[in-house]
Amino acid sequence: MKKILITMLALGAISLTTNAQQPTTPAKPPQVSQPAKPKLSKEQREEMKKQREEELANAMTAAQLTDAQKAETKAVFDSTNIKMKELRKEGSEANLDQMKEQRKALEKEQKEKLIKIMGEEKYKKFKEAQKAAREAREKNANPQ
């Protein structure tokens, strides 16, 4: 009986000491990673750039913009793209929320400028044409 009691106490002590030695650092939450973007060749990037420029020109034509409006619209997109590139260069994961806010502010500013240039009705036609082009591009990229 003494042997059983001593064995039980020894096993209890061992189990308590092993459980007491668990790590004290909290476990990191699982990180949600975005799928890796495929590396594109220089030719593929140039082709994509030409395709986007054609889509932009087609959207401007669909919205029936004048030449002056087209030039102003192109300038707005160019300045916004430059600001976005600068924002990405400055960015790090530490200020990701701040970057998102700045990006939204830039997009809002761009929208306001475009509406001022085009007018509300033409802007709606322009956005519809852009949406149709994006859907067509995605459909061609991912045929199912």
| Tens digit of each residue's pLDDT, the chain (144 residues) | 888 878 877 777 777 676 655 566 665 655 555 566 678 788 888 888 898 889 888 898 899 999 999 999 999 999 999 998 888 887 765 577 788 888 899 999 999 999 999 999 999 999 999 999 888 888 887 765
In 34-118, beta strands by DSSP E: none
The answer to whether residue 3 sits within a structural domain is no
| pLDDT score at 123 | 92
Q: Which residues contact 60 (CB under 8 A, 6 or more apart)?
A: 69, 70, 73, 126
| pLDDT score at 18 | 67
| pLDDT score at 16 | 67
| pLDDT score at 28 | 60
The answer to whether residue 22 sits within a structural domain is no
Task: Choose among 86, 129, 77, 75: nearest CA to 107.
Answer: 77
| pLDDT score at 73 | 92
The answer to whether residue 109 sits within a structural domain is yes
| pLDDT score at 86 | 87
The answer to whether residue 17 sits within a structural domain is no
Answer yes or no: are the C-beta atoms of 74 and 126 closer than 8 Å.
Answer: no
Domains held by the chain: number = 1
| pLDDT score at 37 | 65
Cα(139)–Cα(142) distance, rounded to whole angstroms?
5
The answer to whether residue 29 sits within a structural domain is no
| pLDDT score at 143 | 61
Q: Where in the sequence is the domain holding 58, given as residue range(s)?
A: 42-139
* DSSP code at position 95: G
The answer to whether residue 23 sits within a structural domain is no
